[in-house]
Structure 1
Amino acid sequence: MRKHVITLEDPVEFVYKDNKSFINQREMGRHFKSFGGGIRSVLREDPDIVIVGEMRDLDTISAAISLAETGHLVLSTLHTNDTVQTVDRIIQSFPETMQNQIRMQLSLTLKAVISQVLIPKADNSGRIVAREILFNNDSVRNLILRGQTQYIYSTLETAQQEGMILMDQSIQKLFKDGIITETEALFNMRDRDRLYME
C-alpha cells in the first residue's frame, strides 16, 4: 500500500520520486513560515509519514510530538552527539513545569533514535559512519518516565539482540576491523577504555 509522505525542509536538498509512496515536498519560506507551523498545517493533507528537516526550537518539537500522538510517523533530525542526548534535548527544550508531561508523551510516542558520526577511514578513501541505535522498549520507556535517561546507556549496551548498539561499540568494531585509526576511534568515543575491551 502506497503511503502519503510529506517532507518539511529548509531547503529542499533532494527531489524524491513517487516510486513506492506519494511524496509531497514542502520548503520553508515557500510553503510554510516555520517548522512548527508547517507540522500543524500538514494534518489537513492526511499524511501517513511526516519528515521534519530539523527540530530547532520548542514550537517545532512540541508540534512534532503532538503529531506523533495522533498516530503519524514523524521523522526528524536534532544536532546531538548520541541518542541519550537527543532524548534529553527534547525534554529539556520544554520549561521545567512541563517536563514530566513531555516525558510521558515521549515515552509513549518515541519509536527509535539513531545517532551517527562520520569518521575518516584509515586508508584515506573517505569517511565511514559509526552509529548508535536506540529503540523505545519497556526499559527505555520507564527510564524516560522516571527522568533517569543517563541509565539508557546500560540498556543500549545490553540490548544488541533487539537491534540496539552503543556508539562506542560501533566505533570499537570499526577500529578492530582496521577501518579507522586508533586516533580517530579514541577521539570519537565516549568511554575510551572500551576500545581495547574484548
Structure 2
Amino acid sequence: MADIYDIVKAAVEMKASDILLVPGEPPTVRISGELRRFTKEHTLDSAQCQEVVYSMLDRKQISEFEDKLELDCSYTFPEVGRFRVNVLRQENGIAAVMRVVNEKIPTPEELGIPPSVVRLTELPRGLVLVTGPTGSGKSTTLASLVEQINGSKSKHIITIEDPIEYCYRNKKSIIDQREVGMHTRSFTSALKHSLRQNPDIILVGEMRDRETIALALAAAETGHLCFSTLHTQDAASTVDRMIDEFPLDAQVKLRAQLSTLLTAVVSQVMLPRKGGGMICAREVMILNSAVATHIREGKIHQLPGVIESGGQFGMISMDQCLALMVGRGEIEIPVAMAKARDPQSLKALLSMRPMSAPASGPAPATPVAAPVPAPAPTPAYKPPPSPSKPA
C-alpha cells in the first residue's frame, strides 16, 4: 500500500487537480480533466482506504464524519501543499476526494479575469457572485480578487469558508478567515455576527439557503462589499435561483434589492486547453440600468440579450467568450460548441471571427508516472474601453 504522503507528492508533481481515494481501486488522479489510475499494485482495499483517509483527520473530524457520513475539511502536507478534502461513505467503505489548492494565490492576470471584474474590487458596496459547477474555479477566482484587495487597499476582510482553502497573509488589509464547523456553527451565524465585527468586505463561501442570501443582501445594503458563490450556470439562472428561494409575497421586494445590490455575476466553466491543461471561460454580467430594470420587472429571460450587447460596460456572454478563446487558439471548436449556450449563435460568431493559428499542437498523451507540463497563463480578456463606470 502506498503511503498517503507519497500519493499526494506524486499527484502534485504530475500537476493533478484532484486525487480520488476509493476502496477497491488504486489512487486515481485527474489531470487536464482526465482520470488516470496509479498501477494496480497500489490498489487500496476497504480497510487500507479508511486508514489512509483517517490519517488526515483528527478525532473531532472522525466523530463528525461517523455521525453525519459526510465531511468537508482541509489538510496540509508539509513541503507538498494544501488540499481540500471531502470524505464520504460509499458501498465498499470510506472514500475521499482531494482537491489540490495552490499555495500561491494566482493573480487576476494569471487567471484571465476580465478587467471589468477586477474593477469591482474598488467598489465600496454591493454583491458580487461567482457561479458555476463544482470544479469550475470559483474559489480560486474569489481568492484572487481578495488578494488583489489585500495587496492594494487598507480594508478589514472577513471570509467565511467551508473549509478554508487559500490561506492569506495580511498585507495592506487585515483578513479574518473563519471555517464553518471549526470557528463558527454555520454560514448564517457567521454572516449575522460579521456585521458587528466592523468589516469592509465579506466573503461567504457559498449562499446555501434563503437566510444566507437575505443576510448577504442586508450586508451589501448597509455599505459592505460582499463576495459569494452559487452552483448556477449563468447570470439569468443565478437571479432566478435567488428569487425562487423566497415565497411569492417576498419576491417583489427581493427583485428591488437585487436590482440595486447585485453588482455583478461571473459565471465560469473549465475547459480542456488546446495543447494540454485546463482553461476557464467566463460570462460576465455587470449591473447597469438595463440589467436593473429587467431584474426589477421580473424580465429575467431578457438578461442574456443585455449581456451580449453590454461590451461597453465590461459584459461578455459565454458564447462571445468561447468565440474569443477559439480565435486565440486556446480551445478547439468542438469543445466550445459543447459548452455553448446557443450553438447557432456561437456558429455565427465563429464565422465572423478569423481563426488564429494555435501556438502548438495538442500535447501527447501522458502516462500517470510522467510529469505533466504546467499550462501557460491565460491572456486576460480585454473589453472595449468604457467611457464610464458601470451604472
Query: Shorter-chain TM-score category?
Result: over 0.9
Deviations 1:121-156 (A, max 9, x none): 122x11111101111101000000000011011111
> Is the Cα contact below 8 Å between 2:235 and 2:303 reproduced in 1?
no
Q: How many residue pairs align between the two structures?
A: 197
Match of 1:93 among 239, 245, 253: 245
Q: Equivalent residues in 2 for 1:1-198 (5 A)?
A: 1-123=153-275, 125-197=276-348, 198=352
Using the alignment, how far apart are the partners of 1:115 and 1:11 within structure 2?
Answer: 22
Q: Runs ≥4 in structure 1, deviation > 3 angstroms?
A: none
- State the one-letter code of the partner of 1:134: M
Contact 1:122 1:179 in 2 (8 A): yes
Displacement of 1:85 after TM fit? 1.2
- 1:102-127 Cα deviation digits (max 9, x unpaired): 0011112111111111110122x111
C-alpha distance in 1 between matches for 2:346 and 2:264: 26
Give 1:16 deviation, angstroms: 0.4
Q: Looking at CA atoms only, which structure, 1 or 2, has the larger radius of gyration?
A: 2
Taking only the aligned residue pairs, the percentage that are identical comes to 44
Residue 30 of structure 1, CA deviation: 1.7
C-alpha distance in 2 between matches for 1:96 and 1:152: 21
User: 1:141-197: per-residue Cα shift (whole Å, max 9, x none)?
Assistant: 000000001101111111101100001100111122222112211110010012232
Secondary structure of 1:133's counterpart equals: strand
Q: In structure 2, how many angstroms separate the alpha carbons of the residues matched to 1:145 and 1:195?
A: 29
1:20 positional shift: 2.2
Paired residues of 1:52 and 1:76 also in contact (CA < 8 A)? yes
CA contact (8 A) 1:36 1:64 kept: no
Please tell me the residue identity of whatever aligns with 2:154: R
Distance 2:316 2:280 in 1: 13
Counterpart contact for 1:36–1:61, Cα < 8 Å: no
RMSD: 1.1
8 Å CA contact retained: 1:172, 1:194: no
Amino acid of the structure 2 residue aligned with 1:148: K
Deviations 1:61-110 (A, max 9, x none): 11111111111111000011111211111111111111111001111211
Which residue type is aligned with residue 179 of structure 1? E
Distance 1:195 1:177 in 2: 15
Q: Is the CA contact (8 Å cut-off) linking 1:12 and 1:27 kept in structure 2?
A: yes
Report the TM-score, using the length of structure 2 for normalisation.
0.49
Q: Structure 1-normalised TM-score?
A: 0.96
Matched position secondary structure for 1:45? coil
1:60 counterpart letter in structure 2: T
Shift of 1:6: 0.2
**2:213 partner SS:** helix
